[in-house]
Amino acid sequence: MDKNIIETFDLSKIYKLKQRKREIVALNDVNLSIKEGEIFGLLGPNGAGKTTLIQILTTIKQPTSGYALIDGYNILKKPKKAKSKVALMLEDKMLYYRITAYDNLKFFCKIYNIPNYQKKINEIIKEFELEKWLNQYVENFSSGMKMKLALCRTLLLDRKILFLDEPTLGLDVKSKFYIVKKIKESKKTTFLTSHDMSLVEQLCDRIAFIDKGKILKIGTKEDISKLIQQEIKIVIEISEIKNQLKSELNKNNFIKEVIEINNGFIVRIKNRDYYKDLIQILRNYKILKIKEQELSLEDLFLNII
Task: Give me the half-sphere count of Cα atoms (radius 13 Å) on the Cβ side of residue 176.
Answer: 15
Q: What is the pTM of this model?
A: 0.79
Cβ atoms of 12 and 30 within 8 Å: the answer is yes
Binned at pLDDT 50, 70 and 90, residue 74 comes out as very high
Inter-CA distances, 52 with 181, 191, 204, 212, Å? 27, 13, 20, 11
What are the structural domain ranges in the chain? 4-226, 228-304
Binned at pLDDT 50, 70 and 90, residue 191 comes out as very high
Strand partners, 237: 264, 289
* Residues 6 or more apart in contact with residue 103 via CB below 8 angstroms: 96
Pick among 1.10.10.10, 1.20.950.20, 3.90.1150.10, 3.30.70.920: CATH of 228-304: 3.30.70.920
d(CA 61, CA 266): 43
CATH 3.40.718.10 for domain 4-226, yes or no, is no
pLDDT in tens, 127-158: 888 899 999 999 999 888 888 899 899 999 88
Q: Which residue spans within 83-123 are E strands per DSSP?
A: 86-90
Residue 298, pLDDT > 80, answer no
Q: Which of 83, 74, 77, 91 is nearest to 161 (CA)?
A: 83
Cβ atoms of 235 and 290 within 8 Å: the answer is yes
pLDDT at 197: 76
d(CA 71, CA 74): 9
* Total residue count of the chain as it appears in this document: 305
pLDDT in tens, 264-279: 899 988 877 888 899 9
